Amino acid sequence: MTQIQFITHATDRFGYVDGARMALEGGCRWVQLRMKGATDAEVLAAAAEIQPLCRQHEALFVIDDRVHLAKQIKADGVHLGKNDMPVDEARRVLGEEFIIGGTANTFEDIERLYRQGADYIGCGPFRFTTTKQNLAPIVGLEGYFTIVNRMRAAGIPLPVVAIGGICYDDIPAIIRTGVRGIAVSGAVLNAADPVAEMRRMIDA
Ligand SMILES: Cc1ncc(COP(=O)(O)OP(=O)(O)O)c(N)n1
Ligand SMILES: Cc1ncsc1CCOP(=O)(O)O
Ligand SMILES: [Mg+2]
């Protein structure tokens, strides 16, 4: 069973809460509330609906970027990129109980995040995607294979989640590189039946 983190995104068919609900119904047990450009009030309103759904499904609920909101609503954690609060500062704010994920594009990014105390790595993009603007260079299968091997050689035990344009057919090859799981958004939201697609990915 593949460990999958669903990243919320609004489309012309579904809002943020719809996506989270469908991912959970499809068996996903890790939802990240990502609402780029939204106000804190808008994020809190979506979290007020999604966080109880995650609890009902015994799923992890993490917030993208916003450390103060993650603390305020007692989310399970936060995901931080290079332009967000540094992981070590977020750890001082949140403490050891929160999951803190960090974004990496290179092994050197992972070394830095490991030193700062991240609990997991979101590494990508696997391929081009329109879900995130200003993409870092494409990592690809070879990139994951190299990064995982360099992590092993360096004794860095952090779980790596691949992200960026990932669809069902990519999962076996990505997992064979040694990464622990994947993060997805569009492949589920743009499917004819998002719940069934999430279930198919979970069972991959
Ligand atoms: C699991 C995971 N990996 C990477 C990202 C990207 O986060 P970030 O660099 O903060 O970029 P934005 O998501 O803020 O555009 C993520 N959110 N989750
Ligand atoms: C948040 C994020 N970070 C790197 S790619 C990406 C978007 C993931 O969404 P999708 O699976 O639709 O490419
Ligand atoms: Mg971010």
Cα(45)–Cα(50) distance, integer angstroms: 9
Query: Which ipTM value was assigned to this complex?
Result: 0.96
Domain that holds residue 175: 4-203
Q: Which ligand is nearest to the CA of 32?
A: 1
- Ligand showing the shortest atom-to-Cα distance for residue 134: 1
Return contacts of 183-187, CB within 8 angstroms, 24+ apart.
183/4, 183/5, 183/6, 183/7, 183/32, 183/122, 183/124, 184/4, 184/5, 184/6, 184/7, 185/6, 185/7, 185/8, 185/9, 185/19, 185/34, 185/131, 186/9, 186/11, 186/129, 186/130, 186/131
pLDDT value of residue 28: 98
Residue 131 known to bind ligand: yes
83-97 pLDDT per residue, tens:
999 999 999 999 999
Residues with CB under 6 A from ligand 1: 5, 7, 32, 34, 36, 64-65, 79, 81, 84, 101, 103, 122, 132, 161, 163, 183
34 is in an annotated binding site: yes
Look at residue 1 in the predicted model and tell me its pLDDT: 74
| Domain count of the fold of the chain | 1
**Is 74 annotated among the ligand-binding residues?**
no
CATH code where residue 17 lies:
3.20.20.70
Token digits of residue 40:
């804190």
Asked if 166 and 187 count as a contact pair (C-beta separation under 8 A), the reply is yes
Q: What is the pLDDT of residue 162?
A: 98
Strands (E), the chain: 3-7, 30-33, 60-64, 77-80, 99-104, 120-123, 160-163, 181-184
pTM of the model: 0.98
